[in-house]
Amino acid sequence: MSFLLTLIGILYGLSGTNDPSLVATSGNQNNLYIKTNAPRGIFVKTDSGSTTNWLAVAGASSISGVANQIPYFNGSGNFSSPTGVAPNSLTWDSTKFLLGIENATPKCRIHASTVTPTSAPVDGNCFIFGNIVAASTIGNRAAIFGLSTTASGDNSIAFGAGTIATGQNSIAAGSNCTTLGNQSLAIGSGSSTLAGGQNSLSIGTATSVSGINAFAQGSTANASGAQSFASGAGATASGSNSQAFGLNTQATASTAHAEGLSTVAAGASSHAGGTSSQANGQYSFAHGNNIIAQNIGTVSLGDSQGSGLSNATSNSFLGRFTGGYRFSAGDAVSPIFGPNINFLQGKVLTDSNVQTTLQLIPTATDTVSLIEARVTAWRTGGAAGTAGDSASYIVLTRCKNSAGTVTANDITQSYISEDNVSLNATIDASGLDCRVRVTGDIDNVYEWNVTSIVNIMSI
């Protein structure tokens, strides 16, 4: 066996048993010709072409080495070769052109590992860097980087420690993550980090993707529905084409969408947002703090108060906003000018006949409002009166703020119904507000509530 050391690398030859200074041998000027079989030696070319002008290097005739091992200059500056026994081996397979580093029987183009896979491409079209899993298979054109990794899928790549790239054209990178689906990608750590679906992507710690074309990111996120998307710690998208965003959110039905904190979208094509909200009906919508849309087509909206509001009536709207509902059709120049209506609510308890404010309705400078206050009362206790006493009132006024002076004009009770004639409801002005005021009764406890409809116009 002989090989030619050129300016660009090492060229192996299968012949060369004769002395190149006696038999014409091709080479460029200053090339080295190293013969490891008899007659051994190192020769330098003194010209170019196929000639016998090779000059033996003095003292090199005793060169020797191990078959199939690549020689090198050792720490003493002497020409040497490894023993050929792993891990002390630097092996060249001249039949398949494979390089083994720490491996005397390389199976891949570059095989830098003391471990040999049980199965590898026949032509060695693969790459191994690091100690792979024993008794493993490496796919055609696959590459392994790291500790105890496996890349058995064709064109797959495994990076890190304990990663497994089984899917064709897949990539597994991190610690103990796995790709099973073709064209899948798993990045992260934990044995549960899995990209099992075709064209799937799993990123994070213990994330799992089993749906086709699905995506999951975040700790313990799970996207098992086809074309699903789960993003956030504990997020789950199990419905096809579903989406779950946030912490511990769940989108369990097809085309469902959940976002926020611990929300659940269980109805097909439903939406749940906020905190602990649930959209259980098909086409339902729940948003707020602990809001539930229970049936088909239901819409439930709430504020930050955590009411536990639940709407079970199909194709209906239910909302709870302690600041009221406000609707405006104003233009860009004057947003208030034009149709503008507010629905404001309030409640209070009375246990005497002292007039009490049930609701404050603020005003803006140079505005006029038509206020219709709908007031109800129910007796809940007390030493006097009769259990079940109640009252209802509709009170109207024109509330005007002119240059900062507020007046309540033409106050009218358009409806009165009461079991106790000592009760009353009215509207007045105080500071920059119009107020809904109620009067209870001595030794009677009454719960009052009001819904005021306020039409506002400004100049």
Question: Are 348 and 451 in the same domain?
Answer: yes
Q: What tokens appear for 406 in the block? A: 């507020």
Domain that holds residue 289: 242-322
Question: Are 409 and 433 in the same domain?
Answer: yes
- Whether residue 360 lies inside any domain: the answer is yes
- Whether residue 208 lies inside any domain: the answer is no
Question: Are 389 and 438 in the same domain?
Answer: yes
CA distances for 408 relative to 342, 354, 423, 439, 459, angstroms: 18, 21, 21, 18, 18
Task: Tell me which of 322, 354, 377 is where a domain ends.
Answer: 322
Question: Are 307 and 374 in the same domain?
Answer: no
- Whether residue 236 lies inside any domain: the answer is no
Contact 451, 388 (CB under 8 A): no
Question: Are 279 and 337 in the same domain?
Answer: no
- Whether residue 203 lies inside any domain: the answer is no
Question: Are 341 and 401 in the same domain?
Answer: yes
Task: Tell me which of 322, 351, 384 is where a domain ends.
Answer: 322
All residues at 6 or more sequence positions from 136 whose CB lies less than 8 Å from its CB, including other chains: 117, 118, 119, 150, 152
Contact 400, 439 (CB under 8 A): no
Question: Are 337 and 427 in the same domain?
Answer: yes
| CATH code at position 399 | 2.60.40
For the chain, 459 residues long, give each residue's pLDDT as a single digit of tens.
333 333 323 333 333 456 777 888 888 888 877 776 666 677 788 888 888 888 777 555 555 678 888 887 777 767 778 888 877 889 999 899 999 999 999 999 999 998 889 899 999 999 999 888 877 889 999 999 988 889 999 999 999 888 999 999 999 998 888 999 999 999 988 777 888 889 999 999 889 999 999 999 999 999 999 999 999 999 999 999 999 999 999 999 999 999 999 999 999 999 999 999 999 999 999 999 999 999 999 999 988 887 678 888 999 988 888 777 777 665 555 555 556 788 888 999 999 999 999 999 999 999 999 999 999 999 999 999 899 999 999 999 999 999 999 999 999 999 999 999 999 999 999 999 999 999 999 999 999 999 999 998 877
Task: Tell me which of 322, 356, 377 is where a domain ends.
Answer: 322
Number of domains in the chain: 3
